[in-house]
Amino acid sequence: MKQLQKEGYTYIDGGVCAAKGFRANGINCGYNPDKNKNDLGMYVSDVVCNAAAVYTTNLVKGAPLTVTKENLAATGGKAQAVIANSKNANTCNRDGVERAREMCEIAGEALSIDPKLVVVASTGVIGQPFSCEPARNHIDELVGGLTYDGNSRAEWAVMTTDTVPKEVAVSFVLQGKECHLGGMAKGSGMIHPNMATTLNFITSDVAISSVLIQKALSEVTEKTYNCLSVDGDTSTNDMVCVMCNGLCGNDEIVAEGADYETFKEALFLVMRALTVMLAADGEGAGKLLTCEVKGAPSFEVARTCARSIIHSTLFKCAMFGEDANWGRVLCAIGYSGAEVDVEKIDVTFRSENGVLPVCEAGYGIPFSEEKASEVFAKDEIEILVDLHQGEEEATAWGCDMTYDYVKINGDYRS
C-alpha cells in the first residue's frame, strides 16, 4: 500500500513507541483461550501527557468509554497510560463501569500512577460478563515487560478479526526539534461512521495543549476515520485517543498557527494511513476501495456521495465479482440524500492496470469488457466520481463484500 507522501514528513517504524518516552507491551492473560494470542495490551509514557479522545456516536456505549471520558474530564485532559483488552467489549454489562474503573485501578497501582491517568479500552463480544481477574493476575507480567520497542506486542493484544497489525509513524521537524507521531489501530468489522474507528491509539512527543489536540483530532477525524465504512455498523466501543508527552523538547503549542498546522498534518498522515489499512483489512476483504468524489458544491456533499458508494452492499458485491456495474454507483449517489444533478455526473474506475471511464454526464458510455476485466483484476480499485457542480472534494475508503465477511460474522460470538 502506498502512503501519501508529504514534504517534511518521513514514515518510520515504531507505531505507538516511535515517539520518545513511550514503552509498550502485550501479553495473553486468559481473555483469549488461545495462549498464543495476546489479549491484554498497555503503553505508558515516562511523563504525564496532554491527551484528547473522540468516541463512537452509538447510544449504546461501552463502559470503558464512559470511564475514559470520566478520567479525561477529571484530570483536565491528562493521561499517562493505556490499558486495553480484546475478546470482551465490556458493553451492556450491568457492572461494566465498575469493572472498567477497576481496570484503571489495577493498571494505576502497578504503574504507581493515579488511576485517573489511565485510559481504558475493550473490544470483543458485546453483552458478556467481564471479569478483571485475568488482567489482575497478569498485570505484573504486563508491566514488567514494557519496553521502548514493545509497540507490536501491544498492537497484537487489541486485534480481533484483524488479519494484520496496523501501525504507522512519522518523523518531522518542529521548532528545530525532531518530533515523532505514531499510532496503532485495531478494527476489521463493525466499522462505519461516525466514529468508524474501533480502537485507535496515537502517541507523540510534541508538546501541545489538550485543547489543541482535541481540535486537531476532531478535524482530522472528519476526513479520515469518518470516511471509512466496512459494513455500515457503527460500533459501541469506538475510540481514538491521542497522547502527547512533550519529550521532543519544543515550546508547548498553545495557539493555532504554523506549529499547530505542522502537528495536525502529522496527525492527518498517521490517521489517514491507519484508515486505509483498516479498509484494506476489512473483514473478509479482498479489495481495497477508494472513492474520490470531486466537483462538489461542498465537502459534505462530496463525502455523503463517497460514503454512500463505499457503503452500498450491492456495489461492494460487484467489486468482489470484478463487475463494472457502475449503475450501482449512480444508484448509491441517488439515495445518499445529497442534492446533486445526476445528469452531470462522470464515473471512472481506475487501478494499476489502467483507467476505465464508464459514465458521462449521468449516462453510460461504451467500454470494453476485456479492458474492464483487466482494471478490476487488481486488489486496489479507485472509483472516481466528478459531480461537475462545484470545487470541493472528499475521499472515502472501504472494501468489497465477500463470502468470508459472511463467514466471519456468522459465527463471531462462538
d(CA 159, CA 169): 19
Q: Does residue 406 belong to the site contacting a copy of itself (CB under 8 A)?
A: yes
d(CA 376, CA 287): 10
Q: Does residue 59 belong to the site contacting a copy of itself (CB under 8 A)?
A: yes
Find the shortest distance in angstroms from Cβ 293 to a copy of itself: 15
d(CA 410, CA 391): 43
Q: Does residue 330 belong to the site contacting a copy of itself (CB under 8 A)?
A: yes
Q: Does residue 144 belong to the site contacting a copy of itself (CB under 8 A)?
A: no
Among residues 126 and 241, whose Cβ is nearest to a copy of itself? 126
Please work out, in degrees rounded to the nearest 5, the angle formed at the alpha carbon of residue 239 by the alpha carbons of 187 and 408.
20
- Using a 10 angstrom Cβ sphere, with 0-12 exposed, 13-18 middle and 19 or more buried, the burial of residue 160 is buried
Find the shortest distance in angstroms from Cβ 275 to a copy of itself: 19
Is 10 a residue of the active site? no
Residue 183's identity, in one-letter code, is G
Binding mask 88-127 for a copy of itself (x = CB under 8 A): -x-xxxx------------------------------xxx
Question: Among 197, 198, 203, 236, which residue sits at the site for a copy of itself (rule: CB under 8 A)?
Answer: 236
Q: Does residue 33 belong to the site contacting a copy of itself (CB under 8 A)?
A: no
d(CA 88, CA 92): 11
Query: What are the angstrom distances between the C-alpha of 25 and each of 38, 40, 78, 147, 197?
Result: 10, 8, 21, 7, 22
Catalytic residue among 197, 224, 236, 262: 197
Q: Under rule CB under 8 A, which residues in 184-213 are in contact with a copy of itself?
A: 189-190, 192
Crossing angle between the packed helical segments 299-311 and 327-334, to the nearest 10 degrees:
130
Instruction: Write out the E strands in 86-139.
Output: 118-122
Question: Among 254, 258, 342, 377, which residue sits at the site for a copy of itself (rule: CB under 8 A)?
Answer: 342
* Active-site residue list: 197
Report the interface residues with a copy of itself, using CB under 8 A: 57-61, 89, 91-94, 125-129, 189-190, 192, 231-236, 311-314, 317-318, 320-321, 323-328, 330-335, 340, 342, 359, 362-364, 401-403, 405-414
